[in-house]
Amino acid sequence: MTGNMHLGVEEPIRECQYNQICTHNSSPMDTPHTKKKKIKRKWQVFPGRNKFYCNGRIMMAKQTGVFYLTMVLILVTSGLFFAFDCPFLASNLTPAIPAIGGVLFVFVMGMLLRASFSDPGVLPRATPEEAADIERQIDATNGPSGPGYRPPPRTREVVINGQTVKLKYCFTCKIFRPPRASHCSLCDNCVERFDHHCPWVGNCVGRRNYRFFYLFILSLSFLTIFIFAFVITHVILRSNRTGFLSALKDSPASVLEVVVCFFSVWSIVGLSGFHTYLISSNQTTNEDIKGSWSSKRGKGNYNPYSYGNLITNCCAALCGPLPPSLIDRRGFVQPDTPQPAAQTNGTGACPSNQVQSHMAATNPLLHSQTIILGGGAPLQAKTSLGGPCSTLGPSQPSLPSSIPGLSCGGELMALRDSEIHCHHHLHHQHFISPEETPSPPAALPCATHLGHHVHPAQLFDPASQDSLHEDSVRGLVKLSSV
């Protein structure tokens, strides 16, 4: 949450106002006519699909409905716990219980807000001169193509700690993506060390907020187990005195809390375990799904980013230095600098929109599913607090980072790898589906399976053509897992 610190200019007060970013028309050219030469801050002309609040201090994804659902669930469950169960427990057992519960709750909310509101590590788009320079270099390296010689796709190879890593060129941002970076089609940004896009947190999870995300799910696991255990204790103690049914009648909130906690604990604890594994091996969800560093790809395949030591990996991920935000949200737009790559957002958005309608046409379940995630049906929410996040994370066979050549074989391997890696998450998906009602909520896990199994052909065709289609495929895949 760091802005540009040395700008002390106060602009007319507009505190905590929500300003939707107009992604197609935002350019400083328009502003002098409409805004009477008002100097704009950089977040107001940001080319990605993000929402900004509090004058650029808070940054979130465009769809935040599910985030509010997360907040409501946590606040309501914890509130009921403190209001109805804690008085009994404090007087009959120990006042340490509400105290510890309070600390856990504050920690959970703090981490959630930090993960949701910070910049995940968005890479700013290239300035026009940079983009031109890269184009020149690409043309120079490709050289004249002879007969039968297909110019290589826009990739650069680099050897990191003995492993060859391919850096891909991002058509939207007009940069060669650093290693481990990936383009999020939902937010239309390249994000450093991209893990996944989490709708429950309402933001991408990347280099700058991964530790907050991990601490959030970890502390939420503890909080859920804590509440579950002590609500059960409360009911048992009461029913020892007055009988089970009257105990339930005396504290009806306990029933709701137990149900919410019971159904969330599996997903959240599972997700915490998965991310603990990722941290200890220094991989991102992306890399794990695609099996980038798995030994199945080849004998000499290993993770070049791992420090070799489990403890060092954990410490580096959680206690390493926190890099600053690269996008300077609260800085002022210099009137003479041209805005980088703002126009391409239109072209970047178009394939995604086409993909969206294509997907909606071919898979009506997905269409209803996107409505669910936007609106938040309470039934679905109760049973799968962490569910979609667990399905989202692992089940994105996100093509964004470094699939060389986009050949059909490569695609197949990526999808197959994603199936393999989803096996240990299937228990989340399979758990969710029987619990949910057969109507729309079931579309959530079903659609993710469909994304994997049913549409490989449809995924291959657009992807085999051109890297621009790769962006749309990415959007397709992301939509299927959302």
Partner 1 sequence: MISAPRTATDRTKLPYCHESFHNLQELRHSASLANKVFIQRDYTDGTVCKFQTKFPSELDSRIERTLFEDTVKTLNNYYAEAEKIGGQSYLEGCLACLTVYLIFLCIETRYEKVLKKISRYIQEQNEKVYAPRGLLITDPIERGMRVIEISVYEDRGSSGSSSGSSTTSSSGR
Cβ nearer to partner 1, comparing 315 with 412: 315
Number of helices (H), then strands (E), in the chain? 19, 11
Cβ nearer to partner 1, comparing 333 with 365: 333
Query: For the chain, first and last CA: distance in Å?
Result: 27
With 0-12 / 13-18 / 19 or more C-beta atoms within 10 angstroms meaning exposed / middle / buried, residue 144 is exposed
Question: Cα dihedral sign for 240, 241, 242, 248?
Answer: negative
Cβ nearer to partner 1, comparing 68 with 307: 307
The answer for residues whose C-beta is within 8 angstroms of residue 166's C-beta and 6 or more apart is 155, 156, 157, 402, 404
Residue 40 backbone class (left: φ over 0; alpha: ψ -120 to 50; beta: rest): beta
Rounded to a whole number of angstroms, the minimum distance from the CB of residue 298 to partner 1 is: 20
Measured between alpha carbons, how far is residue 415 from residues 283, 418, 445, 457, 464 in Å? 18, 5, 17, 11, 14
Catalytic residue among 170, 187, 198, 261: 198
With 0-12 / 13-18 / 19 or more C-beta atoms within 10 angstroms meaning exposed / middle / buried, residue 414 is buried
Cβ nearer to partner 1, comparing 109 with 463: 109
Cβ nearer to partner 1, comparing 2 with 251: 2
For residue 441 the two structure tokens come to 């909520």
Rounded to a whole number of angstroms, the minimum distance from the CB of residue 158 to partner 1 is: 5
The answer for residues whose C-beta is within 8 angstroms of residue 305's C-beta and 6 or more apart is 160, 161, 179, 180, 282, 283
Cβ nearer to partner 1, comparing 28 with 124: 124
Cβ nearer to partner 1, comparing 133 with 466: 133
Of 164, 223, 191, 185, nearest to 356 (Cα)?
Answer: 185
Rounded to a whole number of angstroms, the minimum distance from the CB of residue 15 to partner 1 is: 17
Binding site for partner 1 (CB under 8 A): 1-2, 5, 106-107, 110-111, 114, 123-124, 126-127, 129-130, 133, 158-161, 165, 167, 175, 178-180, 192-193, 212, 215, 304-305, 312, 315-316, 318-324, 326-328
Rounded to a whole number of angstroms, the minimum distance from the CB of residue 141 to partner 1 is: 13
8 Å CB contact between 400 and 169: no
Rounded to a whole number of angstroms, the minimum distance from the CB of residue 175 to partner 1 is: 6
198 catalytic residue (yes or no): yes
Rounded to a whole number of angstroms, the minimum distance from the CB of residue 219 to partner 1 is: 10
Question: Cα dihedral sign for 124, 130, 135, 137?
Answer: negative
Residue tagged 């255990």 (tokens): 229
Cβ nearer to partner 1, comparing 242 with 312: 312
The answer for residues whose C-beta is within 8 angstroms of residue 219's C-beta and 6 or more apart is 104, 107, 108, 111
8 Å CB contact between 399 and 477: yes
Rounded to a whole number of angstroms, the minimum distance from the CB of residue 125 to partner 1 is: 8
Cα dihedral value 238, 239, 243, 249, nearest 10 = 60
Q: Which residues are catalytic?
A: 198
